[in-house]
């Protein structure tokens, strides 16, 4: 979409930039000294048949689907989420029924259609200044959306087979298109087998659901601090894979309806759900016992990270009589040593990274092609946020940290 077309649209704010004045290198595609840039969170745009084509036949009748009701409305239905209306019933006068997204402008529509084939998405990423993308599901985020972890693992397995067939061809397209293998850890035997499968095929990491069993928290639920998961942590560590927790994978992110629901659900029921699994791994001693594990929070931003580190340490000290196990270091030490978080646009977080010695722990992402992301205006987004950072800090956050964490070759 041309700049002149977007200038008067709801997306006009995306074009604002102070420019890269004083930067020795940028992520602009036409910069002859362009930075090595990794989008640490991009997304697939799966075909509607990705699950049907790859899942075991015994699960086919349970797959997420569109159901049409007697009033003509259409709803997206899955086992673990409340039904979501995607098309309203026809109006009494016979007017066409509105559909979800009917208020999109031209750029929003472009985003919804992008990324459907590898050639097109690589061209989009080239224009956006991205050299490598780490790819997570879009439709496949519902692979975890069932309280049955065996079924969840079957759907994750199907997504992984589709992703490998799509992105793994030709050496992952020069190691530029790198999906994370989806894992439903509540099915421990299935998860262990899938970790081995992913490692053998060159995946760089795994994406675990934000809870081992999908749904609201209940006393007695299986959690990541359970000793039974030691086999999984050891297997991932031995395979040298990076663990990620992505937003909207632990429970239904559409928990609130009515006024303000879109904002409430994004902030409270999608973004913050990545925090607990990471704290469980730190506080229960998993990262102490497995010092080579690398663990990251994806798409939930970085502004909360200084608060998180301070709060974990404060709780560890103030509640010393409750705390078990006794760790050799403060919780924040394990985060700084082994953990990271990704962001798209997070001015508050970036204002604090250097002062809090977190430059090595944050990774930028354009979230291609999602609406929350910066594509196709990532240069403007980065320049709005990073003018105060040193050249060295920008290089780390935009690509070198991801290269270190995910063992990627630096090509610039």
Whether the pLDDT of residue 71 is over 70: the answer is: yes
Q: Give the pLDDT of residue 374.
A: 96
Quick one: average pLDDT of 129-133? 98
Instruction: Supply 54's token pair.
Output: 């790859």
What percent of the chain has a predicted confidence (pLDDT) above 90?
81
pLDDT for 280-315, tens place per residue? 999 999 999 999 999 999 999 999 999 999 999 999
Quick one: average pLDDT of 252-270? 83
Quick one: average pLDDT of 342-351? 97
Q: Give the pLDDT of residue 265.
A: 82
pLDDT for 388-405, tens place per residue? 999 999 999 999 999 999
Q: Give the pLDDT of residue 87.
A: 86
Give the CATH fold of the 3-63+115-406 domain. Answer: TIM Barrel (3.20.20)
pLDDT for 133-146, tens place per residue? 999 999 999 999 99
pLDDT for 34-44, tens place per residue? 999 999 999 99
Q: Give the pLDDT of residue 272.
A: 84
- Model confidence at 105, in pLDDT bands (50, 70, 90)? confident
pLDDT for 7-21, tens place per residue? 668 889 999 999 999
Q: Give the pLDDT of residue 328.
A: 97
Q: Give the pLDDT of residue 290.
A: 98
The domain locations on the chain are: 3-63+115-406
Give the least confident one: 252-266, 320-334, 335-349: 252-266
| Omega within 30 of 0 (cis) for the link into 363 | no
Q: Give the pLDDT of residue 95.
A: 67
Q: Give the pLDDT of residue 287.
A: 98
Q: Give the pLDDT of residue 90.
A: 83
Q: Give the pLDDT of residue 7.
A: 64
Q: Give the pLDDT of residue 114.
A: 92
Q: Give the pLDDT of residue 103.
A: 74
- Residue 26 phi/psi, 5-degree rounding, is -130, 180
Mean pLDDT computed over every residue of the chain? 93
């Amino acid at each position: 979409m041309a700049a002149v077309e977007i200038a008067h649209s709801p997306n006009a704010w995306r074009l604002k930039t102070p420019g890269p004045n004083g930067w020795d290198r940028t992520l602009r595609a036409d910069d002859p000294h362009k930075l090595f840039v990794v989008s640490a969170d991009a997304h697939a745009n799966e075909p509607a048949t990705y699950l049907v084509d790859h899942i075991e036949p015994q699960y086919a009748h349970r797959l997420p689907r569109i159901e049409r009701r007697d009033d003509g409305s259409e709803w997206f239905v899955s086992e673990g989420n409340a039904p979501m209306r995607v098309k309203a019933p026809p109006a009494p006068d016979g007017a066409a029924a509105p559909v979800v997204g009917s208020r999109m402008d031209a750029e929003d529509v472009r985003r919804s259609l992008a990324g459907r084939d590898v050639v097109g998405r690589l061209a989009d990423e080239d224009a956006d200044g991205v050299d490598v993308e780490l790819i997570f599901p879009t439709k496949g985020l519902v692979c975890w959306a069932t309280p049955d972890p065996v079924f969840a693992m079957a759907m994750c397995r199907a997504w992984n087979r589709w992703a490998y067939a799509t992105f793994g061809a030709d050496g992952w397209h020069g190691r530029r298109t790198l999906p994370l293998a989806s894992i439903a850890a509540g099915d421990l035997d299935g998860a262990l087998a899938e970790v081995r499968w992913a490692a053998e095929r060159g995946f760089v990491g795994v994406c675990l659901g934000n809870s081992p069993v999908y749904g609201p928290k209940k006393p007695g639920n299986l959690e990541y601090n359970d000793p039974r998961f030691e086999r999984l942590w050891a297997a991932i560590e031995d395979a040298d894979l990076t663990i990620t927790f992505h937003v909207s994978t632990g429970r239904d992110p559409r928990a609130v309806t009515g006024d303000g629901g879109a904002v409430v659900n994004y902030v409270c029921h999608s973004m913050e759900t990545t925090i607990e699994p990471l704290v469980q791994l730190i506080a229960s001693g998993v990262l102490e016992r497995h010092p080579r594990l690398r663990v990251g929070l994806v798409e939930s931003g970085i502004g909360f990270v200084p608060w998180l580190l301070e709060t974990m340490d404060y709780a560890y000290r103030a509640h010393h009589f409750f705390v078990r196990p006794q760790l050799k270091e403060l919780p924040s030490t394990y985060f700084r040593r082994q953990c990271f978080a990704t962001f798209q646009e997070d001015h508050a977080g970036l204002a604090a990274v250097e002062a809090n010695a977190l430059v090595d722990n944050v990774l930028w992402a354009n979230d291609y092609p999602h609406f929350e992301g910066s594509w196709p205006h990532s240069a403007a987004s980065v320049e709005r946020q990073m003018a105060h950072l040193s050249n060295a800090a920008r290089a780390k956050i935009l690509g070198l940290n991801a290269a270190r964490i995910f063992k990627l070759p630096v090509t610039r």
